Amino acid sequence: MPGAFNAATARLVERAGFEAVYVSGAGLANATVGVPDIGLLSLAEVAQLAGYIARAVRIPALVDADTGFGGPANTAKAVRAFERAGLAGMHLEDQVFPKRCGHLAGKEVVSGEEMTAKLRAAVEARTDPDFLIIARTDARAVEGFDQAVKRAKGYLDAGADGIFPEALETPREFREFAKKVRAPLMANITEFGRSPLLSVRQLAKMGYRMVLFPLTAFRVSMQAAEECLRDLRRRGTQRSWIDRMQTRAELYELLGYDPISGDFSRGD
């Protein structure tokens, strides 16, 4: 699941042939608001932005629900909001609020009991039985590998549909976690983080069912845009970049818009 930070990017993900798209909390915060991933967006903001993405594509969209936007009652409210917005599921993490990027030092986690209470509230709140609730644990970097495994098993007992072990540090840890936690597993293969850049094929052999690439498209886009803007400032023309641009016709095709007839279809 590549991460999409807006609806147009989600359409690119779909067009590339992926079976699902991920709505990264960091992607929304960084790209839309220009702030770090420390829980600064409200539930209403995330639901609205994620809803734009979910409605732009036919493939399922999974959203990052951070720490649930509060306690168990807030988490239940988040489930209902994301269902209404058209999301196919969410993941919920056991960090202390305000959270930090999962691959940074200095994280803290709530008690296992507090997290399981949120998970039970989330499961009880959903009206669509197909809405996925994935439990993410950040315990590996805080309490160690064995505690991450222990928490994961408790989260499954609380009703989680799958487990997301954040920031495992070696291929062996990914492999051992999959042996110890028998559940649909999600791996986060983000660049410049603590986890090795394992391939989807490698992870599938270990037993992982879902693989996130949360900021890959965003980082590539930002690097290219910065280079283009610096060159434009220096030269005063964009001519040398034309061959590297998406054309107007290609954009309209992606959006489902016919400029001649004026017809517009979201593709559904």
Q: Which of 37, 83, 94, 161 is catalytic?
A: 37
Q: Which of 14, 30, 94, 101 is catalytic?
A: 101
Q: Which of 14, 22, 138, 151 is catalytic?
A: 22
Q: Which of 91, 103, 140, 151 is catalytic?
A: 91
Catalytic residue check, 266: no
Catalytic residue check, 93: yes
Q: Which of 11, 103, 126, 136 is catalytic?
A: 136
Surface-to-core class of residue 263, CB atoms within 10 Å of its CB (0-12 exposed, 13-18 middle, 19+ buried): exposed
Catalytic residue check, 257: no
Catalytic residue check, 228: no
Residue 134 β-bridge partners: 91, 162
Catalytic residue check, 22: yes
Q: Which of 83, 138, 161, 166 is catalytic?
A: 166
Q: Which of 140, 175, 188, 208 is catalytic?
A: 188
Catalytic residue check, 231: no
Surface-to-core class of residue 214, CB atoms within 10 Å of its CB (0-12 exposed, 13-18 middle, 19+ buried): buried
Catalytic residue check, 52: no
Q: Which of 64, 83, 94, 161 is catalytic?
A: 64
Catalytic residue check, 138: no
Q: Which of 11, 14, 30, 66 is catalytic?
A: 66
Sequence-separated (6 or more) residues with CB below 8 Å from residue 156: 135, 163, 181, 183
Catalytic residue check, 155: no
Q: Which of 11, 30, 83, 93 is catalytic?
A: 93
Catalytic residue check, 136: yes
Catalogue the active-site residues. 22, 37, 64, 66, 91, 93, 101, 136, 166, 188
